[in-house]
Chains A and B, each alone.
Chain A
Amino acid sequence: MQLTAATILIGGEAGQGLATVGHLLTKTLVRAGYDVVVTQDYQSRIRGGHNTFAIRTTLPGEGPRVAAPSASVDILVALNQETIDLHTPALTPGGVLLMGQAMSAHDVNALAVPYKELIPKPIFENVAALGVLCGLLGLDRAHPARLVTEQFQKKGQDVIDQNLAVLAKSHDWVEQQPHGFGPLAKAPARGEHLALNGNEAVALGAMAAGCTFCSYYPMTPATSVPMMLAAHAETVGIVVEQAEDEIAAVNMVLGASYAGARAMTATSGGGFALMVEGVSLAGMTETPLVVFLSQRPGPATGLPTRTEQADLTLALYAGHGEFPRAIFAPGTIEQCFHLTVHAFNQAEKAQTAIFVLSDQFLADSVRNVEPFDLAALPPAVLPDRSDDAPESYQRYAVTESGVSPRRLPCAGQSLVVLDSDEHTPDGHITEDLAVRVTMHEKRLRKHALLRTDAIPPDYDGPPTPDLLLACWGSTLGAVQEAAALLRAEGQAVGVLHFTQVWPLNPDHFLPRFAQAGKVVMVEGNHAGQLANCIRMETGFAMTQCITRYDGLPFTARYILDRL
């Protein structure tokens, strides 16, 4: 029988190369036309510990795209004994364990790979593992061969040939084994897909939005965004500066933005906590600020390498005083890209702080996507480039929308005066309390603009479902899958996914809630932060809230077990 889906979990110590094997197999599967979703679980250490790289692959086209981890495993690749001990219980009955020869299996279908015979040197183990996996899954040999050729291009033909030989030998070896697994049904032909994780999509989005300045202080799981911007800084034209701390990072972004750069910072909860005063400065000075906030479990340093969705209220309330902001929460790789582009435009349009709220699961989750159509992106919203009547230019001119024309310093004759104190329309300090009221109301009017632009949550399901599953951000995939399983049992289930969690427009979702039997919110925190926020804004109370805060992403099973 041919398989339409499989989950491959590679487990071992950090430093054993499991991510290398994982990435190679992921790319091979994507090129062979399958859908993938990767879940990485790692500990906060560089070597040792127990890490996993799980690839869930499905034949595209049947039902909704699978976008969540699976609780069970079909191929368990053990790089050490601990992996076998920990993950054998998750192995499906038809599954197979791949292990080294010195390890022992617990009464399951196991293949001990004779690495010593297959490879001339330990360095080839990754490629051997790839060959065995491709053989098990019955993948066309051309895909891994081309990938390996590309990987070792820089090292010369000799190295390529040696690796290709290992690949073929490993593939041959596994084909001669009586493993009884697979193969995967052949995927239908499709156009080229990219294999991208959430943070790579955010970085691409920033570049496509014309980001020219990024200042940050490293913190998992946000760091890979500035690192990718740094890698391409000179090609794309970005200044990437590692600041002395997060306070400096956000203040630098505001300085650069004031001077006309399209600027962003990237951080996680603890770092963002330090940026809070700067967020308020963006509010008062009406300076565009894009914050990529990638969540991990807190409080404090929490679980540095695990996932959670518990910083929504932090992003919502960060900064003293009152000022408008918007918070976007991508749930897919495509949304990571497009919402980042949108964040830059909204930051310029409303001249305030805009957040892209992601998390570790999405940051590290590689999936296949169609290449983004860059030519179809909306035109960049840019500052006022005129320099008319510079003498009468007022940075904070009072307007009906609350947005004042933003000119740039040293780009013309107009003087741009910006102040963290309450200020007059021309930007100078004031303690005139009537001016305070006028200016405060002017700034707050921009909230309406962000609310008018609010992206409606995506809905999928019947108009009057018995059960409506609501969620936001990266929880989407697990919720969709849970809904699909319930529908297969005959239940009328709807899924409502919020990609914008602030400001909310109740007209976008209250009618849906009203038409549903039960409304259940699924989110990765203890309090039910979005559920509370919706209740605060609308008075609507969820029937139930399914929460998770053990550091792991949701799975469909986890949700079904709690319904």
Chain B
Amino acid sequence: MLNTDIYGEFETAWCPGCGDHAILKSLKQALAILEIEPHQYVHCSGIGQAAKTPHYLRCNCFNGLHGRSLPPAQAIKLANPDATVLVSSGDGCSYGEGGNHFLAAIRRNVDITVIVHDNQIYGLTKGQASPTTSEGSKTKSQPWGVTNQPFNPMAVAVAMRANFVARSFSGMMEHLTDMIVQAVRHPGFSLVDVLQPCVSFNKINTFSWYKERCKPIDPAHDPTNWEAAMQVASVFGQTIPVGVIYKNDRPPLGARYKTLAAGPLHERTPNLAAVERIMQTFA
């Protein structure tokens, strides 16, 4: 195991008490366990409070656009199969603005790990409803109460047979660390949805609200059993099961690109002999 000091110590712009602090700590812990040094991985993010995470770590960082963390992350992994690629993103960023990319990324199954800081609210833009905000919640932008039914990322990911689907809670740091470690180790698209209190804007889903409900999944649960996983994934209420919900071993996309067998794309030089041959077919 590496020393977590190598990931640095930075001043953050997060509110005191925000769940993001604990997620960052667990993340460093997981990286140390995985023995991934800062120069060996790329941390991608979109925009939002969660998306600031890579700035608070020593790492290679691609902090792109709101909702757009997944397309660059997948491309980075395809361009450099040697790199470990992680994504930190919010529930608005991943399931709202980036919803199409989320579905496509599951289908594409590139070997990346996505950690969604799911605080059931928009933090950075100050408290509007997110796709996971529960029905009836009153927010500044929905003073009459949210009328949309919440998005269930676990059920969707399991339904689509994502390669690795897990849930954790920022108040269970050891558990969270373990989920991240398992997710990174698992080939293909891995999703860890992390419930996280937003102390400033979400007065409903507070630390104690999550604490009371989050319960480790029954150890007898077989994450390779899709039907059982669908059952676990559909539970979100008085109890919220945390742990590995589903696992699949579909080969990651990169493995199916013959071009990538020769290693990172940045090492290539133009193959002019091949271009010459292709050009001759037009004679």
Contact = CB atoms under 8 A, between A and B. Distances in A.
Contacts of B278: 204, 207, 232, 235-236
Contacts of A248: 68, 70-71, 100-101, 104
B266 A259 contact: yes
B271 interface: yes
Contacts of A416: 60-61
Contact of B265 (A235, A260, A277, A417): A260
A326 to B, nearest CB: 21
A532 to B, nearest CB: 30
- 8 A-B pairs with the lowest CB-CB distances in the bound complex, closest first: A260-B266, A255-B72, A255-B75, A210-B270, A409-B60, A244-B104, A251-B71, A259-B79
B79 to A, nearest CB: 4
Interface in B9-43: 13, 38-42
B58 interface: yes
Nearest to A390: B39
B269 interface: yes
Given A193-B283, A212-B268, A255 B275 contact: no
A427 B76 contact: no
A412 B257 CA distance: 24
B62 A255 contact: yes
A271 to B, nearest CB: 14
7 contacts: A208-B272, A213-B79, A237-B262, A247-B68, A256-B72, A259-B266, A409-B80
B108 to A, nearest CB: 8
Contacts of A415: 38-39, 58-61
A420 B62 CA distance: 8
B170 interface: no
Given A251-B72, A281-B64, A259 B272 contact: no
Contact of B55 (A238, A277, A412, A428): A428
Contacts of A244: 100-101, 103-104
A123 interface: no
Contacts of A192: 283
Nearest to A231: B278
A161 interface: no
A406 to B, nearest CB: 11
B72 A254 contact: yes
A406 B205 CA distance: 43
A411 B80 contact: yes
Contact of B74 (A233, A252, A427): A252
A82 interface: no
A243 B273 CA distance: 29
A194 to B, nearest CB: 4
Interface of B: 13, 38-42, 44, 47, 52, 54-55, 58-65, 68, 70-76, 78-80, 82-83, 100-101, 103-104, 257-260, 262, 264-266, 268-272, 274-280, 282-283
A200 B280 CA distance: 12
B63 A256 contact: no
A277 B41 contact: no
B100 to A, nearest CB: 5
Contacts of A251: 64-65, 68, 71-72, 75
Contacts of A119: none
Nearest to A252: B75
Residue of B63, B83, B104 with highest tally of chain A CB at under 10 A? B63
B90 to A, nearest CB: 15
A525 B54 CA distance: 46
A420 B44 CA distance: 11
B61 to A, nearest CB: 4
Given A260-B264, A415-B39, A409 B76 contact: yes
A232 B268 contact: no
A239 B259 contact: yes
A259 B240 CA distance: 38
A189 interface: no
Contacts of B61: 415-419, 427
Contacts of B272: 208, 374-375, 377
A252 B71 contact: yes
A427 B54 CA distance: 11
Contacts of A409: 39, 42, 60, 62, 76, 80, 83
B78 A213 contact: yes
B110 to A, nearest CB: 9
B1 to A, nearest CB: 21
Contacts of A194: 279, 282-283
A220 interface: no
A256 B259 contact: no
B275 A260 contact: no
B259 A261 contact: no
A196 B282 contact: yes
B51 to A, nearest CB: 9
A258 interface: yes
Interface in A166-211: 192-196, 200, 204, 207-210
B75 A256 contact: yes
B79 A256 contact: yes
Contact of B39 (A239, A249, A377, A412): A412
B76 A236 contact: no
A489 B42 CA distance: 66
B71 A255 contact: yes
Nearest to B107: A244
Contacts of A412: 39
A94 B264 CA distance: 61
Contacts of B104: 243-244, 248
Nearest to A427: B61
B259 A234 contact: yes
A236 B278 CA distance: 9
Contact of A236 (B52, B78, B83, B271): B271
A347 to B, nearest CB: 15
A371 B268 contact: no
B203 to A, nearest CB: 28
Contacts of B277: 235
Given A232-B278, A235-B271, A243-B104, 6 more contacts: A213-B265, A237-B259, A252-B75, A259-B75, A259-B83, A418-B61
Nearest to A207: B275
Contact of B52 (A278, A408, A429): A429
Contacts of B63: 418-421, 429
B76 A258 contact: yes
Contacts of B60: 409-410, 415-417
A196 B270 CA distance: 21
A518 B13 CA distance: 62
A411 B266 contact: yes
A307 to B, nearest CB: 22
B270 A207 contact: yes
Contact of A261 (B47, B65, B73, B79): B79
B65 A277 contact: yes
A410 B283 contact: no
Given A245-B100, A248-B101, A234 B73 contact: no
A193 B282 CA distance: 8
Nearest to A369: B282
A390 B38 CA distance: 12
A489 to B, nearest CB: 38
Residue in B52, B55, B70, B79 with the greatest tally of chain A CB atoms within 10 Å? B79
